[in-house]
Amino acid sequence: MLLDNGNPYENGRPQSIILSPEDFSFNISDRNLNAIDRRAKWTVFIYMAANCDLAAHLFEDILEMKAIGSDENVNICVFFVGPLITDSFFARLNKGTPLGEDIIFRFLTLSASEPKILKEVISNNLILYPAENNLVILAGHGLGWKGALEDYAIGKMYIEQGRFSLPPGDDGSHLKYCYDRAIKAINEKRLQNRMAKDSINDGNKSKINIIAFDACLMGNIEAINHFKDLSEIIVTSEDVFPGSGYPYDKILQKLKADPNIDPNVMAINIINQTKDYYKNKFGNIVITQAALDCHELKGLNQMIYNLANEMTKYLGNDKEAANVIKSCIENAFNFGEGYRDLKNIAESLLDCQIPYNLSVAARSLKDFFEQSGLILASDVPGGKGMPAGISIYCPDPAEFDPQYLRAVNSSDMGFWPWFLGMYALCTLGQDAVNSPLIGLIDETMKDLMGKGEYRPNN
């Protein structure tokens, strides 16, 4: 069986995929069936976008989590989107069982980056395995506002190139049979629970307490804004994140030892366990993590709006402003992809001779980071010009991606895109006339406003 013989990805991708009858079979176990509708203390749901070069790492994480296993207090559920064929599945992981026995649903191929799939599986997990507290972990490649959970469509490539073989006499229909059988078993179990009044599931009211990103560059404010209304806390990294990801076994061991743990403490535990794991493994290494209180993000977005507004005014009133702001941006920590540390920008501005209102905006943003309670916990290098927890898109004008304007249109970025346009115009000077950037910004803004889609805040 493809999934029950260790890590199927540790030696790289096979030239061709030879599938057995077992790869098209699954059946929800009594243990996982009986856990449906039973309210636990915590449900940990990990969405793994493994249809990429991270498959071996992510599957190793599954084996780590299986060694801990679910119990009556903690559900450990995973939705794994694999790179091969029939290796995508939803499972509730148990200790001491074959992985195949934990699988509830199995799929031929899936796209990990499809928002509809992500939304549906998270919603279904909240309903099937309810808990007082819910932790959702999104694992895979991250690129900030440019996207997350990148999917390479590897399984589709195998199918299109005919590099696979089915079991004799099986056209894949048995997979659908097993799926329908699982749906029937779940529906019957939920009906029995309701009739026996054993179900206390109010899945529609279930909330996500923590969303954690086991992915690079997702501590980007534009990306964070897309998730801030879905959770109470976000745990993320503004820098690159190791491919081996979270130390899932250590995090889950701590949770199972104290299932009554408060969500704030749990978020701090994720950061501390990750920090200790990589420090013990690699020595003096800082992963750059922050746990953010989502209730404070509205205030942060207002601070960003104020800063962008004052910088835009400064650019319009002082011919030296572009050079000053350019220097401040360049002094901020650079994560690549156009991302700079947000707090660093404010701190650099405060070191310069700038208009009073701009200094107030910069000081307010810096103070908000330090005093508001936005950052519940962090593991950052600290110090001037070093990562402080949240990045923002602030690229060199020549490298500006016009897709940014559409990506942040529905978020709370307010005046920031307009500042970037003004900054580009002033920085490029006479070259702005011939720059495709200015035309793209103008064209995109007009298109969005013409459709009634551009909605700058405040």
* Separation CA 222–CA 413 (nearest Å): 7
Please state the domain count of the chain: 2
CB 233 within 8 A of CB 292: yes
* Separation CA 57–CA 245 (nearest Å): 8
Q: Residue 7 domain-assigned?
A: no
On whether both 267 and 327 belong to a single domain, the answer is no
CB 151 within 8 A of CB 52: yes
Average pLDDT of the segment spanning 374-396: 92
Q: What is the pLDDT of residues 204-225, one digit of tens each?
A: 467 999 999 999 999 999 999 9
Kindly tell me if the per-residue pLDDT of 383 is higher than 90.
no
On whether both 308 and 218 belong to a single domain, the answer is no
Q: Residue 257 domain-assigned?
A: yes
On whether both 207 and 328 belong to a single domain, the answer is no
Looking at per-residue pLDDT, the higher value among 172 and 129 belongs to 129
Q: Residue 416 domain-assigned?
A: yes
Q: What is the pLDDT of residues 347-365, one digit of tens each?
A: 999 999 999 999 999 999 9
CB 110 within 8 A of CB 175: no
CB 451 within 8 A of CB 408: no
Confidence of residue 122 (pLDDT cuts 50, 70, 90): very high
Sign of CA pseudo-dihedral 119, 101, 73, 7: negative
Looking at per-residue pLDDT, the higher value among 191 and 140 belongs to 140
| The token pair that represents 162 in the structure block | 């005919």
Q: Residue 457 domain-assigned?
A: no
CB atoms under 10 Å from CB of 282, counted, come to 10
Sign of CA pseudo-dihedral 368, 370, 372, 373: positive
Q: Residue 214 domain-assigned?
A: yes
Q: What is the pLDDT of residues 277-326, one digit of tens each?
A: 999 988 877 789 999 999 999 999 999 999 999 999 999 998 899 999 99
On whether both 140 and 258 belong to a single domain, the answer is yes
Confidence of residue 335 (pLDDT cuts 50, 70, 90): very high
On whether both 402 and 418 belong to a single domain, the answer is yes
On whether both 324 and 221 belong to a single domain, the answer is no
CB atoms under 10 Å from CB of 207, counted, come to 12
Determine the pLDDT at residue 196.
77
Closest-CA residue to 41 (of 200, 259, 233): 259
In this structure, what CATH number is given to the domain that contains residue 31?
3.40.50.11970
Kindly tell me if the per-residue pLDDT of 38 is higher than 90.
yes
Domain edge (last residue) among 294, 318, 333? 294
CA 346, 348, 352, 354: dihedral to nearest 10 degrees? -20
Kindly tell me if the per-residue pLDDT of 418 is higher than 90.
no
* Separation CA 258–CA 239 (nearest Å): 30
- β-sheet bridge partners, residue 44: 76, 135
CB 314 within 8 A of CB 354: yes
* Separation CA 141–CA 123 (nearest Å): 22
Find how far residue 73's CA is from the centre of its chain: 25
| The token pair that represents 121 in the structure block | 């599986």
On whether both 156 and 250 belong to a single domain, the answer is yes
Q: Residue 3 domain-assigned?
A: no
Residues with Cβ within 8 Å of residue 261, at least 6 apart in sequence:
42, 254, 255, 269
- β-sheet bridge partners, residue 105: 90
Domain edge (last residue) among 262, 294, 326? 294
Determine the pLDDT at residue 3.
86
Determine the pLDDT at residue 435.
62
Work out the mean pLDDT of the chain and round it to a whole number.
90
Confidence of residue 203 (pLDDT cuts 50, 70, 90): very low
On whether both 230 and 322 belong to a single domain, the answer is no
* Separation CA 126–CA 131 (nearest Å): 8
- The full 3-state SS of the chain, as one line of letters, equals CCCCCCCCCCCCCCCCEECCHHHHCCCCCHHHHHCCCCCEEEEEEEEEECCCCCHHHHHHHHHHHHHHCCCCCEEEEEEEECCCCCCEEEEECCCCCCHHHHEEEEECCCCCCCHHHHHHHHHHHHHHCCEEEEEEEEECCECHHHCECCCCCHHHHHHHCCCEECCCCCCCHHHHHHHHHHHHHHHHHHHHHHHHCCCCCCHHHCCEEEEEEECCCCCEHHHHHHHCCCEEEEEECCCCCCCCCCCHHHHHHHHHHCCCCCHHHHHHHHHHHHHHHHHHHHCCCCCCEEEEEHHHHHHHHHHHHHHHHHHHHHHHHCCCHHHHHHHHHHHCCEEECCEEEHHHHHHHHHCCCCCHHHHHHHHHHHHHHHHCCCEEEEECCCCCCCCCCCEEECCCHHHCCCHHHHHCCCCCCCCHHHHHHHHHHHHHHHHHHHCHHHHHHHHHHHHHHHCCCCCCCC
On whether both 279 and 310 belong to a single domain, the answer is no
Q: What is the pLDDT of residues 143-159, one digit of tens each?
A: 999 988 999 999 989 98
* Separation CA 77–CA 103 (nearest Å): 10
Kindly tell me if the per-residue pLDDT of 258 is higher than 60.
yes
Determine the pLDDT at residue 432.
64
Kindly tell me if the per-residue pLDDT of 453 is higher than 60.
no
Domain edge (last residue) among 261, 294, 327? 294
On whether both 64 and 204 belong to a single domain, the answer is yes
Q: Residue 458 domain-assigned?
A: no
Task: State what percent of residues in the chain have pLDDT above 90.
Answer: 66
| The token pair that represents 311 in the structure block | 């910088």
On whether both 280 and 314 belong to a single domain, the answer is no
Kindly tell me if the per-residue pLDDT of 390 is higher than 80.
yes
On whether both 397 and 433 belong to a single domain, the answer is yes
Determine the pLDDT at residue 411.
65
Residue 261: CA count within 13 A, CB half-sphere: 25
Q: Provide the domain limits for residue 414.
A: 296-371+390-450
Determine the pLDDT at residue 433.
64
Q: Residue 380 domain-assigned?
A: no
Kindly tell me if the per-residue pLDDT of 129 is higher than 90.
yes
